[in-house]
Amino acid sequence: MQQVQIYSRHGCHLCDDALATLKLLQKELSFEIEEIFIDGVAELEQKYGEQVPVIQIDHKQHDFFRVDPVRFRKALSSK
């Protein structure tokens, strides 16, 4: 099963929106969601900073800020 990682921050409305979109897509597609908070993790804060949410599919960068459902479906089906 494919894994989707979402790097986020607590209190981030874009992160909440992206996670909600992923959960809706999860109802029709087969994938697991792993939410990773970067708050207080120096390495992740340096890597992602204000770029969150960052969405990865199987640990490869897919998108950031928003989840485009059409693009996400296409990326998931091409793997």
pLDDT of residue 79: 62
Residues 6+ apart with CB under 8 A from 24: 69
pLDDT in tens, 3-46: 999 999 999 999 999 999 999 999 999 899 999 999 999 999 99
pLDDT of residue 47: 95
Domain tally for the chain? 1
3-class DSSP state of 6:
strand
In CATH, what number is assigned to the domain containing residue 35?
A: 3.40.30.10
Q: How many contiguous H segments (helices) and E segments (strands) does the chain have?
A: 3, 4
The whole model's pTM is what? 0.92
Supply the range of the domain harboring residue 27. 2-77
